[in-house]
Amino acid sequence: MMAGAATEPDVSALLTAGDGAPVALENADAGSRILLVCEHASSRLPERMGTLGLSPDALESHIAWDPGALAVCRLLSASLDATLIYQRFSRLVYDCNRPPDSPGAMPAVSEVFDIPGNAALSAAERLARTEAIYSPFRKGLSDLIKTRVANRRPPVIVTIHSFTPVWHGRPREVEVGILHDSDSRLADAFLADAAEDEAFVTRRNAPYGPQDGVTHTLIEHGIHNGLLNVMIEIRNDLIANTDGQRVLAGYIGDHLGKALMRLEP
């Protein structure tokens, strides 16, 4: 190869047939306009990537995925009759809530953990991960949106995440975060409806907000398409078991449904 020649990403070097597709879709023919998105659904790594140099405990911790988020999504998908799209691999391979040029897309450090397998990635390695993991997810979500818009059923984008109850030794009081970027319509309506509900400490843009770079999906797929959108963060100790997951799915589903009625009576 000539010096300076472009290098094509070798996607086959990352995923095997046994790994399966990076993106999954459930309840595809759902009747609701709500489109549930779970970017951090799994802690799974592609077989060829090994462990990225991390211990089993680290790979099951919040640095690798959002524990409980997919379970809540599935409950919401059933109760709201909503389509669900999610990423099947760990955010340590590629964080699908980050654009390719973000350092957080393939972090070398996450929270207090060094990620040896992400250290000093070459441009070709980053591109291969982007093409193998992020691009199919982005296209899958974009295609769903385009189809529904064409059918005059513009979707409502709802992304579900979870966060740790303690951050760098400091307990977090917030239990449910309602996040938005420049379009706050759905977040405003949700918070207005939940204002008198004391079941959970629910706050705007907490424990993260746009300043933390967490609203990529909302911007890319919601705001750029003029669609209602919101990101919901749940403290993961509250959804560590099936009972908690059902309770939180009920809380979110109730206020989300009422919020949409406020906006579209």
Give the pLDDT confidence of 177-223 residue by residue, as tens digits.
Answer: 999 999 999 999 999 999 999 999 999 999 999 999 999 999 999 99
Largest Cα–Cα separation, the chain: 66
| Confidence check: pLDDT of 2 > 50 | no
Q: What pLDDT shows up at residue 245?
A: 99
Strand pairing of 156-163 and 229-235?
parallel
Evaluate if residue 134 carries a pLDDT over 80.
yes
- CB-based burial of residue 264 (10 Å sphere; 0-12 exposed, 13-18 middle, 19+ buried)? exposed
| pLDDT over threshold 60, residue 6 | no
Quote the pLDDT of residue 168: 84
In a domain, 25, yes or no: yes
What pLDDT shows up at residue 13? Answer: 76
- Strands (E) in 180-245, as ranges, are 202-204, 229-235
CA–CA distance from 124 to each of 80, 190, 232 (Å)? 42, 43, 34
User: Is 195 among the domain residues?
Assistant: yes
Residue given tokens 């966060």 in the structure block: 163
Q: Is residue 131 part of a domain?
A: yes
Residue at 10 is within a domain? no
Buried b (16+ CB within 10 A) or exposed e, 135-163: bbbbebbeebbeebeeeeebbbbbbbbbb
Total domains present in the chain = 1
- For residue 142, is it within any domain? yes
pLDDT at 7 over 60: no
Does residue 12 sit within a domain?
A: no
pLDDT band at 12 (very low <50, low <70, confident <90, very high): low
Tell whether the model's pLDDT for residue 70 goes beyond 50: yes
Give the range of the structural domain holding residue 33, as residue numbers without chain letter: 19-263
CATH number at residue 92: 3.40.630.40
Percent of the chain with pLDDT over 70: 95
Alpha carbons within 13 angstroms on the beta-carbon side of residue 161 total 28
Is this prediction's pTM over 0.75? yes
* pLDDT over threshold 70, residue 9: no
Distances in Å between the Cα of 116 and the Cα atoms of 92, 121, 141 are 11, 10, 30
DSSP 210: G
CB of 144 closer than 8 Å to CB of 35? yes
Overall average pLDDT of the 142-158 stretch:
97
Cα 190 to Cα 185: distance, rounded to the nearest angstrom: 9
Is the residue at 6 inside a domain? no
User: Which amino acid is it at 261?
Assistant: M
Q: Is residue 8 part of a domain?
A: no
pLDDT averaged over the chain? 95
Is 60 exceeded by the pLDDT of residue 1? Answer: no
Q: In the prediction, which pLDDT does 264 show? A: 81
